[in-house]
Structure 1
Amino acid sequence: MKMNNPKSNYTLITGASEGLGKALAIECASRRMNLVLVALPGSELHSLASFIRRNYFVGVLSIEKDLCRDESCRELFNEISSLDLNINILINNAGIGGTGLFENGSIDLYEKQIRLNVLATTLISRLFIDMLKRNRSAYILNVGSMASFFCLPKKQVYGATKSFIYFFSKTLRRELKQNNIHVSVLCPGGMNTNPAVTLLNKTGNYISRLSIMNPEEVAPLAIDGLLKGKPVIVPGRMNRVFLVLDKMLPEKIKDLLTGSTMKKINPDHSLVRYLSVVAEPGSGEQAIA
């Protein structure tokens, strides 16, 4: 744990050492926000914190914590509370992805996905509610996914966890509105955060290439949307177009394209490849492609 220049208000970001989390940290620092950055032990977290201190001159606290571990969320809260810091923005970004048939997946992976994507987000939000309430205005940004909206084979557990994040965020927004806590859910598509997505970016067709964004492009859109109080933030024109098309297509057609009959479609089929890209952003520092 390292800290310098503690000030009154801090933005807490989980999964902050790489990918979207790192981009969000730098974006917030560029807006003069003090930061509490959380990531796995052994990550590049402290290097990132040092970089931000040198270049943006804001207060930075870096905490290495495996949020899949029992009691880790409570430990994180107690650690921050003991330093008498005030969190006025909470960004739940850490998450684990994964692609494959359900029957072939490991119990360990599924347990980690649910613990990190669902349980950690829920517990951290609950633990910091009272602190957020003390602010005149506070914000929660939960990182979901385009997978929140689609039933995709080989992304069944990941998609289900992100659907939870979507509905949890929308419900929490209604509950906390009276306390001036603004809750938003970010639903990005594919991003160049791991080799698998980068490969799809290079080899995919024109539509799939249009859908992919860099974390550095998503981060400012996410923070802009959060501070403007948007309930759902979907970055990228192609992703928004695809959501409209999804509402227009009959269920039978969607089943043909993305459901039980996907086995009949060549894995290199352009739509299958496009759906695979837009469904999993690989947002957190613990992401598994």
Structure 2
Amino acid sequence: MKAYTLITGASQGLGKSIALEFAKRNMNLVLVALPKSGLPELSKFIKENMYVEVHYIEIDLSTVDSCYAISEYITTHNLPIKNLVNNAGVLSRGLFDNLDEAFILKQIAVNVTTPTLLIKLLLNNMKSVAPASILNISSMASFFALPKKQVYGATKAYLTSFSKSLRKELKTTNISVTTICPGGLNTTTRLCYQNRIVSWVTRKTVLNPEDASKIAIEAMLRKQRLIVPGFVNKCLMILDKLLPEFIKDKLAEKELNKFPKAA
């Protein structure tokens, strides 16, 4: 029986790198991403050059209906899901007071509701082909209080916490849950620019998506619980526990002032 890896947010950035890395490992794919984001072209490239089967679903993950549509597609095409990668996410970099209400709700829907509901809907499918794996892409922002990333950090804190508890619940089903919490990623031109203008320490926390994808998949295959990739990132996690709050506030304020005042 052919097994598949389902990846959300698969057309660009980290999701695209994860898709290519799985394809190199001879894993069939179900790729999910927004319409007009290059998904058909990526799927065709993978099929023609890496010789694995690829299904793709162009859909907006900010609605609950989209999760049910994905589940229905999987059932209709009788696709056993061996690995589920919840990668889709909505970033933010703006003061909360300036954020649009609709954007905030969309961010919560994509970052929180979608991965939670997808796991729920696909769980029986994954149990039928266990051992299976869930890989949730969280962020170092889930551990820190970061100005201009308040909603994003909160959604990722949910995903990190949810993953830890779910892992314990699913232990007897032979389904592992792995969470990866990277720092910054050079996934778009805008982010590459922003990652260059921050401090030296912050720049050292940034990874290229190709490197992050390999680390994430290896962690999943080893059934690790949680991984923070990068030596500097690990050091920052330790340092955060040691530094007094007033120093962390000063550091956050310094980084905040490096960005334009507009959201």
User: Could you tell me the TM-score, scaled by structure 1's length?
Assistant: 0.86
Q: Give the drift of 1:164.
A: 0.3
What is the aligned partner in structure 2 of residue 281 from structure 1?
none
| Aligned-partner SS, 1:66 | coil
Task: For 1:168 and 1:266, locate their aligned partners in 2 and report how far apart those are by CA, in whole Å.
Answer: 29
Percentage identity across aligned positions? 47
Q: Give the drift of 1:250.
A: 2.1
Q: Deviations over 1:140-176 (max 9, x none)?
A: 0111011000011211111100000000000100000
Alignment root-mean-square deviation, CA: 1.8
Q: Which structure 2 residue ranges, 5 or more long, are not aligned?
A: none
Alignment: residue pair count: 261
Q: Give the drift of 1:70.
A: 3.5
Match of 1:137 among 131, 134, 143: 131
1:243 equivalent to 2:237? Answer yes
Structure 1 residues 91 and 202, CA, compared in 2 at 3 Å: closer, same or farther?
same
Match of 2:144 among 142, 146, 150: 150
Q: Give the drift of 1:241.
A: 1.1
Work out which structure has the larger RCO, using CA pairs closer than 8 Å and 6 or more positions apart in sequence.
Answer: 1
1:71 equivalent to 2:61? Answer no
Structure 1 residues 150 and 265, CA, compared in 2 at 3 Å: closer, same or farther?
closer
Task: For 1:96 and 1:60, locate their aligned partners in 2 and report how far apart those are by CA, in whole Å.
Answer: 25
Task: For 1:99 and 1:200, locate their aligned partners in 2 and report how far apart those are by CA, in whole Å.
Answer: 11
Q: Which amino acid aligns with 1:267?
A: N
1:21 equivalent to 2:15? Answer yes
Task: For 2:209 and 2:80, locate their aligned partners in 1 and report how far apart those are by CA, in whole Å.
Answer: 27
1:267 equivalent to 2:251? Answer no
CA contact (8 A) 2:89 2:111 kept: yes
Q: Give the drift of 1:205.
A: 4.0
Q: Deviations over 1:255-277 (max 9, x none)?
A: 3433xxx2x77713xxx9xxxxx
Q: Deviations over 1:3-25 (max 9, x none)?
A: xxxx6200000000000000000
Q: Which amino acid aligns with 2:10?
A: A
Task: For 2:201 and 2:152, locate their aligned partners in 1 and report how far apart those are by CA, in whole Å.
Answer: 23
Match of 1:100 among 81, 91, 94: 94
What is the aligned partner in structure 2 of residue 254 from structure 1?
248
User: Could you tell me the TM-score, scaled by structure 2's length?
Assistant: 0.94
1:177 equivalent to 2:171? Answer yes
> Where in structure 2 are the equivalents of 1:1-289 lying within 5 Å?
8-258=2-252, 262=253, 267-268=257-258
